[in-house]
Structure 1
Amino acid sequence: ADDANTITWNPAGLPGLRRTEFTTTYADLYAMGITQSYLGFVKPFSDRVALGFDWSNVGFDDKELLYAENKMNLAIGIQPHRKVSFGITLKYLMRDMQLDGTSYGKSSGVGYDAGLLIQPLKNLRLGVGLYDLGGTQVAYEDKSTETILGQAFKLGISYMPIDGLILAADYGDRYHFGAEYILASRLSFRAGVQQDVSGAEKILVPSGGLSIKFKSLIVEYGYESHPYLEPTHRFSLALQFSPAVVSITSTVISHNPVFRSLHRYYESEPFLKVGIKNISDADLPVDVSLYVPTMMDNPHSQSVTLPPKSEEEYDIGVSFSSDVLTSKKATFDNLVQPEVKITYKQGGEEKLAQKKMESSYVLGKGKLTWSNPDMIACYVTPADVVVDKFARNFIQYYTPVLNDYFGRSNLGRGIILYDALGTHGLVYNIDLETPFLDIADDKTAFDTVKYPGDMLRDKIGDCDDLTALYGSLMGNLGIETMFLDVFKPGAGHIFLMFDSGVKPDEVGKYFLDETEVVVLNDKVWIPIEATLVGKSFFSAWKQGALKYNEMKAENFVNEISVKEASAKYLAGSHITPDMPMPEMDGINDLLKEDIKQYGVWLEQIVYNAVGNKLDAAEDYYDAGVKYMEFGRFKEAINMLETAINMKPVFPDA
């Protein structure tokens, strides 16, 4: 039941063919002039229903005696379940015998066959054929009738122990045993034997054959050896027009538009949902490929095994070309038409199903929307070579300042890097095309964000550019940051805060008051207004604290953990071309100003710690201890020496 001959032998095999097929066979039985001819045609109407029509003829004609028996079958096969199918056949028979041109016994009649096919296992099939149900009668010209074919049945089984080898047997009026081996899906070898069930002499008839397939054309030869008669040679020709057993029912890209800057996020998540239909009766390995123009050099491919008789949706990942952010096309927005292709093997031949998808926008590397503010994390690139060089150069050069004035604190590192940006010449400038103030209110509008390395080169940017840059520099030093997304209507803004390294229960010990900092997630954060770059760090800190407290009181600020957001929205693989670093010659003016303001600020903390008075030796001692906690050892020594001068016997001092 694996070709068009199933019309005659078991109509239940029709829907399993999954193809349109035409076949013809011719044989001269036992070289006696008794010809056997056959024509068959199969047409599937769905993956579960197929129709078949055939004509067969057995005849003899020696110019004196003529005998002809014609039979036409119209069959339908239905497969309600992938493991079960059934079919019925309506057949019309015509017989005639002539002697010297005179007809004797011309008759015709109608009969019915039925079949059942069950496949309990992938490599096991069971079949039942019921023939001439109720007996098949013919009517003669004189209106008399005769039952010429009695009701019969056959039971069959086939088993595939290994790929390419099929063993088969059936039982009816004869026993049949056979085997077929298919080589490379092109060449098949067959051998079998049959023996009568009843009769005085149970004749054993061996047979063999082969078939050659070339694309849709199949040529077959069969040989049957009878012990008493001449052998029979059968020749068959078939055309098999196999339809695709796989079709693409739906395709949806999870993200539209597509942001180049989020390419690593896309690569970590399912990118495409594709509906695939498999009408075959077996598991089918396929390769699904996706091509997104301007973002790929080659399609992304993924292997999937389709269950038999299935229609399911599959999540497909994606991988983009290495220059997705650096190619010339990366700068521009592109309207592209992605394409999905599915390749698989059917009957030994490579098959292809493909579908052009709806057009999608691929946006340039600097584009972003604020529908999900966490996506800004993809622009935080602490590992960028230029960012790393900038941060390390300034911190290493100013290590003595960090040690002597700031006690190696995160605050000191933040001051040095912030002032470094001002000294480098960075300035805040509202993006005239996409001002953040307007963009923040429209979650669908496209904003433009610069990568930190590009920002260091261009030296001019909006609040989002400066925030991403300063956050990247701090991240390079291992200092955690949080971005502060202000979503108040008409006052959209973004700035940041960094981890001070101080524990929440020690805020009163290391800061003037709680309004200077933000206590969140068991950390103490220092808020910074990055747009004040070029001014002192303490100005940016003061403004950042005021802005945060104001927006927090009105519930208009969203704290974004850069660490958590970066774990999802991975930084883009952006490579900044190398650039010369700023020359450093002594302590720059901005840093001098902040050292001065830091000293005043610290002096106030110390003064508060001693009760706003320095009268007794104990007051100077407490002040010295406080300075030691901040790493200001010079001031600490001065205070302790004063305490000793006032109280010479002061062991602790």
Structure 2
Amino acid sequence: YAEQKRAIEFEKNAPKVIIKNLQLEQVFSAAYKQYVDRPIGKVSIKNGSDKDYVNLKLRFSIKDYMDFPFTLDIPLLKANSTEELELNAIFNNRILEIDEDTGVQVEVAVNFATNNKDDAIRITKPMTIYGKNAIVWKDLNMVGAFVTPKDDLLRDFVRQSINENKPKADAVDRSLLTAMTLFDIFGAHGINYVVDPNSPYSELTESTVDYVQFSRETLKLKSGDCDDLSVLLSASLENLGIETAILDVPGHLLMMFNTGLAENERHLISLDDDLLVIRDGKVWIPVEATMIGQSFAEAWAEGARKYHKYSKEDKLQVVVLNTAWNSFKPVTLKPAVYTVKLPEKQRVEPLVQRETTLLLEKSLDRLVKPYRALVSMDSDNIRARLQVAIIYAKYGLFDAANHEFDDILSIDADNSSVFNNRGNIYFTQKDYERAIEDYSYAEKLSANDAGIKMNISMANYQLGNLQLASSKYEEADMIDETVKSKYSGYIKLLSK
């Protein structure tokens, strides 16, 4: 009878607060920052008694990966009611040490008072934390966590290599030139496109767990699939202040970057609108990142082709990184314990020179187009042909300029302007002897041209032939009295 009485008494006084229906979402190490604001689960707290409970406190913790539990105050839990609560987590940086999917125990505890005595209940449940490279593509913004422009190793690699290799080409848009240079640097570094045999992007579903490399890992491994290489290009350009976006098309990822130019300035990039993307009034350039190691111009063309094809089919999704970071902030990686050697300049330089020439030709299309139109109407229009050649020469496209000069000479073999301008090219290249040869031939054809004589004078000055330089200056001065004012700086040098 005494035991029965105690059992009845226990049942009567036993707390009626119950934790139930603990549900947990997939947790990804790379997305750890978002769980501060975005719940990783929910739980129900039930009051099974006929009296209210007040001032309850819920605590949610994951051993080793949370320095402090997530807490929630429950001011009132009414009699015979159930309250559903969302669970957040403030993870510490140890979560980024998880390379493989790892099982952990989570604990939910509720503290409350019963009959003026402190009481508590708790439950535990196993959960998997996915490794730091894991991702699911049901929310494309999650890729933002992997685009880490502030990574110290990436920053040092990108900035040092750009400083050493970026060419001068005033006619080419700065952002375009930077992207091209980076693309070629990565190619010279030996980075290759490799399809992930375990989870090729083309075979993934929205719920399949995929794996993405951080940019520092791709630089070290020198290989990656479409998402790895798109992330690398995006993070690198973002580090240099160039806005980027990830492009999702059926079975594939690529990227694009913002030139910063307004739509009405698109001709400064290309006269071919099929190569450009206009987004929010700005000119963007798509790039097929898997073509690293090949021609940037071809990667640009292929990126643009894919963009417009899938955009027309309504099968394109654009993830602007600045927007993605609102939901998935970039991972803060520990300082790297290794370094990545920059590619040798002699491997980068020929790639950059070749691509710069291609970009220059594309950028100069807008300048030569009017003259090309005149030539199309009259193939013997020497003046128009000469302007095309001069434009190419002015911006350093000497081979293209000489090709145009050859075409002019096939029509007019004794055109002094051709020989004079060809001499200017040699002068720019510091080949002063060949410059003098062409200047001298031009002088024979136009003996009273003061400008040609001044060119001969300056080339001789560079060779140290001061007497010849002075003589040609005097001849020019006798023909054109404005020579003294036009060349005043040079004349001061000549008189010393």
Q: TM-score, normalized by length of structure 1? A: 0.54
CA distance in 2, matches of 1:453, 1:618: 51
Over 3 Å counting, the alpha-carbon distance change for 1:260 and 1:543 in structure 2 is same
Q: Does 1:267 align with 2:36?
A: yes
* 1:425 aligned residue: 190
SS at match of 1:288: strand
Over 3 Å counting, the alpha-carbon distance change for 1:396 and 1:509 in structure 2 is closer
SS at match of 1:331: coil
* 1:198 aligned residue: none
Match of 2:54 among 281, 284, 292: 284
Over 3 Å counting, the alpha-carbon distance change for 1:608 and 1:371 in structure 2 is same
CA distance in 1, matches of 2:370, 2:322: 35
* 2:203 aligned residue: 438
Q: Higher RCO, 1 or 2 (CA under 8 Å, sep at least 6)?
A: 2
Equivalent residues in 2 for 1:470-549, closer than 5 Å:
470-487=233-250, 492-549=251-308
* 1:457 aligned residue: 220
CA distance in 2, matches of 1:43, 1:623: 104
Q: Does 1:322 align with 2:93?
A: yes
Question: Could you tell me whether the CA contact under 8 Å between 1:486 and 1:551 is conserved in 2?
Answer: yes
Match of 1:558 among 309, 317, 336: 317
* 1:380 aligned residue: 147
Over 3 Å counting, the alpha-carbon distance change for 1:574 and 1:302 in structure 2 is farther
CA distance in 2, matches of 1:563, 1:262: 16
Deviations along 1:259-296, one digit per CA (max 9) or x if unpaired, are 22211122222333222234585662233222335644
Over 3 Å counting, the alpha-carbon distance change for 1:416 and 1:516 in structure 2 is same
* 1:340 aligned residue: 108
Match of 1:467 among 218, 230, 241: 230
Equivalent residues in 2 for 1:23-38, closer than 5 Å:
none
Q: Does 1:300 align with 2:76?
A: no
TM-superposed CA distance for 1:443, in Å, is 2.1
Match of 1:572 among 319, 327, 331: 331
Equivalent residues in 2 for 1:43-442, closer than 5 Å:
242-244=13-15, 246-253=17-24, 255=25, 257-278=26-47, 279=49, 284-292=54-62, 295-296=65-66, 299-309=69-79, 310-326=81-97, 330-347=98-115, 349-357=117-125, 359-399=126-166, 401=167, 403-405=168-170, 407=172, 409-439=174-204, 442=205
Structure 2: any 5+ residue segments left out of the alignment? 376-380, 402-416, 422-448, 453-479, 483-496
AA aligned opposite 2:312: A
CA distance in 2, matches of 1:450, 1:421: 16
Compare the two structures and name the one with the higher strand fraction.
1
AA aligned opposite 1:412: L
TM-superposed CA distance for 1:382, in Å, is 0.7
* 2:367 aligned residue: 606
Percent of aligned positions that are identical: 24
Q: TM-score, normalized by length of structure 2? A: 0.70
CA distance in 1, matches of 2:287, 2:391: 29
Question: Could you tell me whether the CA contact under 8 Å between 1:609 and 1:623 is conserved in 2?
Answer: no
Over 3 Å counting, the alpha-carbon distance change for 1:407 and 1:518 in structure 2 is closer
TM-superposed CA distance for 1:569, in Å, is 1.4
TM-superposed CA distance for 1:429, in Å, is 0.5
CA distance in 2, matches of 1:623, 1:312: 79
Over 3 Å counting, the alpha-carbon distance change for 1:539 and 1:348 in structure 2 is same
SS at match of 1:580: coil
CA distance in 2, matches of 1:43, 1:485: 64
Deviations along 1:392-441, one digit per CA (max 9) or x if unpaired, are 11232235x2x4456561101111111111111111111111111212xx
Q: Does 1:447 align with 2:207?
A: no
Aligned positions, number: 395
CA RMSD, 1 decimal: 3.6
TM-superposed CA distance for 1:598, in Å, is 1.7
